[in-house]
Amino acid sequence: MGLEDRARASLAISLTMFHSARGLASLMVDSSGAGIRQVALDWGQSMVDVSGAQIEVHGLRPELFDSPFILMANHASHYDIPILLSVVPRCPGFLAKKELFDFPIFGPAMKGIQCVPIDRADRKQSLEAIEKAADVVRTGGRLVVFPEGTRGTGRALQPLKKGPFHLVQRARVPIIPVGLIGTASICPRDRVRVYPGKVTIRFGEPITFSRERPTNMSVERNALMRTVAAALSELSGLPQGDESSDG
């Protein structure tokens, strides 16, 4: 069984590099980015096929993906990204840690689908990344953000970071909350293994708010954080962390 698990992981890595190269090649003939976004969706499905994961989806409303949004999901696995891409009707970009962009081929491919790198250890760069991400959404883009900031254990929802909510306040587009259940068992955070299993994805109702900026942004931000934390907890079935944190 261990050999099979390692083989799945090796094949997943190979597929990631193959589709990344394929996506970059598509940019050479299609500068609009439509080709590489389709490649990203293909990659997501191929990664699910390799894992043997059985995906069950609830509450997905394809029409919501026709407009700009920020999708927020709980985060417990490297497989969260391809699993989301395997079910959404349109390819979004991701606000992702900068280290991922250092990988050859894969990093440039991420930029090709409008992913935005963020360095949580560098406050100045983080603020610049949030503003860039807001520009992506304001000009019609769609982004996925993991507001916990890093992968958890899959046993509890980690405290949410403030950074993603600064992004929401700048972009002022709906938030689509999503609960991911079972991804931690597909690709555990502390192992280079890929296992088969069942994953449930629960899409919640969009969280909307006024397009006008309020007088007190902090009050609005704190209210949004509480609302999103409650939604993610309900959708994922995970208990909430104690409090929200900076970042």
Q: Considering the domain boundaries, does residue 26 fall inside one?
A: yes
> Is residue 246 over pLDDT 70?
no
User: How confident is the model at residue 189, as a pLDDT?
Assistant: 79
User: How confident is the model at residue 247, as a pLDDT?
Assistant: 58
Q: Considering the domain boundaries, does residue 195 fall inside one?
A: yes
Position 2 confidence tier, pLDDT thresholds 50, 70, 90: low
pLDDT in tens, 45-54: 999 999 999 9
Q: Considering the domain boundaries, does residue 243 fall inside one?
A: no
Of 35-39, 159-163, 214-218, 243-247, the poorest mean pLDDT is in 243-247
User: How confident is the model at residue 68, as a pLDDT?
Assistant: 94
Residue 107: CATH number of its domain? 3.40.1130.10
Q: Considering the domain boundaries, does residue 31 fall inside one?
A: yes
**Could you give the number of structural domains in the chain?**
1
> Could you tell me the pTM of the whole model?
0.91
Q: What is the mean pLDDT of residues 231-246?
A: 80
Q: Considering the domain boundaries, does residue 244 fall inside one?
A: no
User: How confident is the model at residue 123, as a pLDDT?
Assistant: 86
User: How confident is the model at residue 1, as a pLDDT?
Assistant: 46
Q: Considering the domain boundaries, does residue 143 fall inside one?
A: yes
Structural domain range at position 177: 2-236
pLDDT in tens, 180-228: 999 999 998 777 789 999 999 999 999 987 777 888 899 999 999 999 9
pLDDT cut 90: percent of the chain above it: 74
Position 69 confidence tier, pLDDT thresholds 50, 70, 90: very high
User: How confident is the model at residue 242, as a pLDDT?
Assistant: 58
pLDDT in tens, 19-38: 999 999 999 999 888 999 99
In whole angstroms, what is the distance from residue 233 CA to residue 20 CA? 33
Q: Considering the domain boundaries, does residue 36 fall inside one?
A: yes
Q: Considering the domain boundaries, does residue 7 fall inside one?
A: yes
Of 58-67, 68-77, 146-155, 232-241, the poorest mean pLDDT is in 146-155
Position 89 confidence tier, pLDDT thresholds 50, 70, 90: very high
